[in-house]
Amino acid sequence: MRTPERLVAVLSCCLLFGGCAAHVNPATVGPKPGPIDPPSQDALHNAIGRGVRFLVETQNTSGSWGTIRHKEHTLYAPYPGTFIGFRAATTALCVAALIEARSDQPGAAEALRRGEDWLLEHLPEVRMSSPNVMYNNWAHAYALEALVLMLGKEPPGTARRLLIRRNLEEQRHRLLRYQSVDGGWGYYIYGPTIPPIGGTVTFTTATALIALHDAQEAGFPVARKVVDRGLYSVNRSRKPDFSYGYQMRSGPMTRGSQKPGSLGRSQACNLALYLWEDDDISLDIIRTWLDRLFARNGWLSMARKQQDPHQGYYGNAGYYYYYGHYYAARSIDVLPENERPHFQDHLAHTLLALQEKDGSWWDFTLHNFHQQYGTGYAVRSLVRCLRPPQDGAAGKGAP
């Protein structure tokens, strides 16, 4: 068909259907996942239990999780700051997983206590990895999430509760200190300046905003101007279909900025916008992107366990995998309760099939932190797939 004829055909279709195509929101149109056999609640409990057992058995004698082990293929990692940050972030994820799992199996309570003690003692040691690397931002963000959960289960008036509050306040202060001049957070910067200049990454910014929201919900308020600057940073990399570029400067048609390349980022970015009540986000967008994650999971899964970052199609990296599914689980939490089972079943179906024989989950060989952080993410995701008690009591499976 020649170009004028094609144009006439398109215009005719628009007129035929009342011009409705011009009003379709591209962020609420997408693929639907195929039918599955929903996993049983027993299968979920069993997988969570195996994950908890893995965490108990692999905890370091110090109470932390993860060790420095040389890998030929891994991330740029200035020594020693990188590993201090990685260990703190990994330990925070594992502590949060043990709290949310509420496991009564042997050793779980003791492992949780030792992990909490390690965080309270060593979080103050976390600093920038080097003058141009800020992996510490991951530690500050996940420390906030873990400390909020720790605070929630600690009785009022105890000395330990005061210690948790002091650490929570300090980690919030550290995270705010490393907010970039352009409003976001990242892990590489262009020069040794505070506040950092450049290097903002969309999903790191979303991670920080979600952790800060957790802190605010726990009684540690965040200035609105801080939030608005972060939201501005995320939105600058957002396309109309709510896929997100890797950085603020990512071009709209780079492979990582297209929908398959944003599968691991859009869940966190959408959730951050929703929690902080951005005007452009809606539950319909969150539903559409959850469906897209499960329908197009192969694009993200093909990067899982690849040796190099961004080795997958559309620039996907292995370490996006369980990260993206964790924020999908948290996105499910904001939906009305009667809508959650569809997404919970698909999430559980995806994650249960990937559990390793030793009970762990992993997606990228990050020295010897990979199984621990992957298991932390996966356990935290699966507890959000558990059904509420049958007596109708409130609950989402996770505190």
What is the pLDDT, as a whole number, of residue 73? 57
Neighbours of 166 (CB within 10 A): 13
pLDDT at 11 over 50: no
pLDDT at 19 over 60: no
- 130 - beta bridge partners? 133
What is the pLDDT, as a whole number, of residue 98? 98
Res. 186 pLDDT band, cuts 50 70 90: very high
Res. 309 pLDDT band, cuts 50 70 90: confident
What's the token pair of residue 120? 């309270």
pLDDT at 337 over 60: yes
Instruction: Enumerate residues 6+ apart whose C-beta is below 8 A from 392.
Output: none
Choice between 17 and 32, residue whose per-residue pLDDT is larger: 32
* pTM of the predicted structure, to 2 decimals: 0.90
pLDDT at 82 over 90: no
What's the token pair of residue 398? 């996770």
Choice between 333 and 309, residue whose per-residue pLDDT is larger: 333
Measured at the CA of 203, the angle between CA 143 and CA 381, to 5 degrees, comes to 60
Q: Is the dihedral of CA 289, 336, 320, 53 positive or negative?
A: negative
pLDDT at 399 over 60: no
What is the pLDDT, as a whole number, of residue 393? 41
- Of 362, 327, 309, 69, nearest in space to 203 by CA: 327
For the stretch 348-388, pLDDT in tens is 999 999 999 999 999 888 888 899 999 999 999 999 999 98
pLDDT at 299 over 80: yes
Whole-number average pLDDT of the chain: 88
What is the pLDDT, as a whole number, of residue 257? 75
- Of 87, 113, 84, 96, nearest in space to 51 by CA: 96
Neighbours of 113 (CB within 10 A): 13
Distance from C-alpha of 269 to C-alpha of 65, rounded to nearest angstrom: 27
Distances (CA, A) of 220 to 124, 212, 217: 18, 8, 7
What is the pLDDT, as a whole number, of residue 8? 37
Res. 192 pLDDT band, cuts 50 70 90: confident
What is the pLDDT, as a whole number, of residue 16? 39
What is the pLDDT, as a whole number, of residue 24? 82
What is the pLDDT, as a whole number, of residue 250? 55
What is the pLDDT, as a whole number, of residue 365? 83
Q: Is the CB of residue 372 less than 8 Å from the CB of residue 55?
A: yes
Q: Is the dihedral of CA 296, 232, 187, 218 positive or negative?
A: negative
Res. 317 pLDDT band, cuts 50 70 90: confident
Long-range (24+ apart) CB contacts under 8 A made by 190-199 are: 190/132, 191/131, 191/132, 192/131, 192/132, 196/134, 199/134, 199/247
For the stretch 244-297, pLDDT in tens is 998 766 555 566 678 999 999 999 999 999 999 999 999 999 999 999 999 999
- Domains of the chain listed by start with CATH number: 1-30 (no CATH), 33-383 (1.50.10.20)
What is the pLDDT, as a whole number, of residue 248? 63
Res. 10 pLDDT band, cuts 50 70 90: very low
For the stretch 120-173, pLDDT in tens is 999 999 988 878 888 899 999 999 999 999 999 999 999 999 999 999 999 999
Residue that the structure tokens 């530690």 belong to = 139
Distances (CA, A) of 317 to 266, 307, 314, 367: 14, 9, 9, 16
What is the pLDDT, as a whole number, of residue 71? 61
Instruction: Enumerate residues 6+ apart whose C-beta is below 8 A from 120.
Output: 163, 164, 167
Flag the least confident range among 19-33, 236-250, 272-286, 308-322.
Answer: 19-33
Tell how far CA 150 is from the center of its chain. 19
What is the pLDDT, as a whole number, of residue 6? 42
C-alpha R_g of the chain? 21
- 244 - beta bridge partners? 238
Q: Taking each helix axis from N to C terminus, what angle separates 41-58 and 340-352, rounded to the nearest 10 degrees?
A: 50
